[in-house]
Copies of this chain bind each other. A is one copy, B any other.
Amino acid sequence: MTAAAPPRPPLKIRRINLDTGRENVVVISRRSTALRPEVFRGFSRVELRNQSKALLATLLLTDDGMVAPDELGLAEPAFRRFGAAAGSLVTVTPAPPPESLDAVRAKIQGRSLSGADIAAIVGDIAHYRYSDMEIAAFLIGSASFMTSGELLALARAMADAGTQLKWDRPVVVDKHCIGGIPGNRTSMIVVPIVAAHGLTIPKTSSRAITSPAGTADTMEVLARVDLGVEQMKEVVNVCHGCLVWGGHVNLSPADDILISVERPLGIDTREQMVASIMSKKLAAGSTHLLIDLPVGPAAKVTSAMEAMRLRKLFEFVGDHFGIAVEVVTTDGRQPIGDGIGPVLEAQDVMAVLSNDPAAPRDLREKSLRLAAHLLEYDGELRGGSGYPRARELLDSGAALKQMHKIIEAQGPSGCVADVGGLTADIPAPRDGVVETIDCLRLNRLARTAGAPIDKGAGIKIAKKIGERVAQGEPLYRIHAVDQAQFELAQAAAQADSGYTVGTQATGKN
């Protein structure tokens, strides 16, 4: 009554064309010569080893010819991350969960974590050792409370886990908006103004995750944004500023992973937001930072009290790490600019920089105001002259010239820059005045229409809060590229446009 089995030979790596998003996935045959698939039930975690290389991955089993019995299939992005050539030998063992998961469990049970605990968790996440489920556990476990010590440790650990930029200059300025407002592409106007003045502003931005466009998506309509660290430094040396995608430079990669789990789940705590933003700024080598905090009923921050709490949290973390932080609250009741979606937003930006009389005035004014704050970080500038200086740089065409210089230095992106040709106008339901615009709703509609994947999809706003409209007059226009998404967006906008139009006799316009 005994049974035994011999030890197992390693498997040969085969690259397989299966795109599994962010998760590491390996495929083995059910008839594998090298391990017993029954030990590795579907979707369990395994560890690959090949000399000094190791990788945790999720396992899929197959019966068909995708992989031979003596092979191990590596899907993207696992193949790239493991970094061994096709055909190399690799051993596979069932992977225990990362040890740092004990700290996650402790956190779920209400304990606070040490800096070492947090560094271990963040390191494992940055090295793709956590499954999505485990990442969700860390995020939600931390959502109910986070001590100030945990917050500092999280920001530090996330900054340490990726590239750290160094600039041999005493003043490196940066701006950041906490997001949530459609349009609002101020960075693409602020950076050329500030850079035209001569201050260093190496701006890294994110791509959209649940929104219809991130600054990186919109800038990509005009120029390449996936620059490496050295290329980015070159652009900044030549132009004083840049507008690149932070993900490619690998600033705070753990933060990107956390965000990609927390956004779809809709978890967004104050502490996690501050740790996320400050980790990026620490890694980017910023010395002076301006935070744009839009406040409005459908913005991320809905009250002055909440804005104050958030401001203090930013200041606390900034002080701790020696970054001069200034927080300004801005109008977050409605979109900034007229376009929502990469191409439409890029058009707004270029209209403002070109002093086009039809350019959205709110985008121009907000950008000037933010640029003014940043220009005041120049010790040579007379106090209070930030705003006139910003206006001078914009009106004279210096900012536009600087933007063209940046676009040229970053190079062409090759993206299609056409506006989506499927269009539908969404009409006002009655005569009256626009009373509210639901930012969340417009974001969702623009996304349904195809943004940011379809660069030309989105919304072009015709009326803003306080403007008078006649019944049937367009509130905004939907643009789409794909027929199915066009129909979905149109139906959704007809069901709920996101606008309320009041019937009072006179508008505020």
Asked whether, in the complex, the Cβ of A62 is within 8 Å of the Cβ of B421, the reply is no
Interface residues of A in 434-471 (CB under 8 A from B): 450, 453-454, 456
Chain A residues 458 to 509 lying within 8 A of chain B, measured CB to CB, are 480-485, 487-488
A420 engages B484 (CB within 8 Å): no
The answer to whether A485 touches B39, judged by C-beta atoms less than 8 angstroms apart, is yes
A319 neighbours in B (Cβ, 8 Å): none
The 3 closest A-B pairs by CB, nearest first: A2-B421, A21-B43, A21-B42
Question: Taking the complex as formed, is A1 at the interface, i.e. its CB lies under 8 A from any CB of chain B?
Answer: yes
B interface footprint on A107-142 (CB within 8 Å = 1, 0 otherwise): 010100000000000000000000111111100110
Complex contact B456–A7 (CB within 8 A): no
Residues of B close to A17: CB separation below 8 A: 30, 62-64
Residues of B within 8 A of A456 (CB): 2-3
Q: What does the 1/0 interface line of A62-78 toward B look like (CB < 8 Å)?
A: 11101000000001100
Query: Min CB distance, A496 to chain B, in Å?
Result: 14
Rounded to whole angstroms, the CA-CA distance of A453 and B5 in the bound complex is 14
**Do residues A483 and B64 form an inter-chain contact, with CB atoms below 8 A?**
no
Of residues 372 through 431 on chain A, the ones whose CB sits less than 8 Å from some CB of chain B are: 416-422
Instruction: Say whether B265 contacts A60, CB under 8 Å.
Output: no
Complexed CA–CA distance, A134 and B136 (Å): 8
Q: Mark A256-267, 1 if CB is under 8 A from B, else 0.
A: 000001001111
A16–B27 alpha-carbon span in the complex (Å): 13
Rounded to whole Å, the gap between the CB of A107 and the closest CB of chain B is: 10
24 residue pairs from A and B, CB less than 8 Å apart: A1-B418, A5-B482, A8-B484, A17-B62, A17-B64, A19-B42, A19-B62, A21-B44, A22-B43, A23-B43, A38-B453, A39-B454, A39-B485, A42-B76, A60-B75, A105-B266, A105-B267, A110-B144, A131-B132, A132-B133, A133-B265, A136-B136, A137-B267, A144-B144
Q: Which A156-175 residues have a C-beta within 8 angstroms of B? A: none
A63, closest chain B residue (CB): B17
Chain A interface, number of residues (Cβ within 8 angstroms)? 75
A109 to chain B, nearest CB (A): 8
Which residues of chain B have C-beta atoms less than 8 A from A419's C-beta?
A: 1-2
Q: Is the CB of A18 within 8 A of B62?
A: yes
A35 CA to B488 CA, complexed, in Å: 15
**Set of chain B residues within 8 Å of A83, measured between Cβ atoms:** none
Q: Does A312 contact B (CB under 8 A)?
A: no
Instruction: Choose from B8, B137, B417 the contact partner of A140 (Cβ within 8 Å).
Output: B137
A75: B residues at CB distance < 8 A: 60
**Using Cβ atoms and an 8 Å threshold, which residues of chain B touch A42?**
19-22, 76
Q: Name A91's closest neighbour in chain B (CB-CB).
A: B484
List the B residue with the shortest CB-CB distance to A42.
Answer: B21
CA–CA, A421 and B43, complex, Å: 29
Which parts of A291-341 form the interface with B (CB within 8 Å)?
A: none
- CB of A143 closer than 8 Å to a CB of B: yes
Q: Which of B18, B101, B420 contacts A27 (CB 8 A)?
A: B18
Residue pair A140, B108 in contact (C-beta under 8 Å): yes
Answer whether residue A149 sits at the interface, using C-beta atoms and an 8 A cutoff. no
* A81 at the B interface (CB under 8 A): no
Contacting pair A19 B136 (CB below 8 A)? no
Instruction: Determine the chain B residues whose CB is within 8 A of the CB of A8 once the complex forms.
Output: 483-484
Q: Report the Cα distance A18→B2, complex, angstroms.
A: 32
In the complex, residue of chain B having the shortest beta-carbon distance to the beta carbon of A261? B133
Partner of A39, one of B5, B30, B482: B482
Q: Does A61 contact B (CB under 8 A)?
A: yes
Interface residues of A in 246-299 (CB under 8 A from B): 261, 264-267
- Tell me if A41 counts as interface (CB < 8 A to partner B): yes
Minimum C-beta distance from A99 to chain B (A):
12
B418 touches A3 (CB 8 A): yes
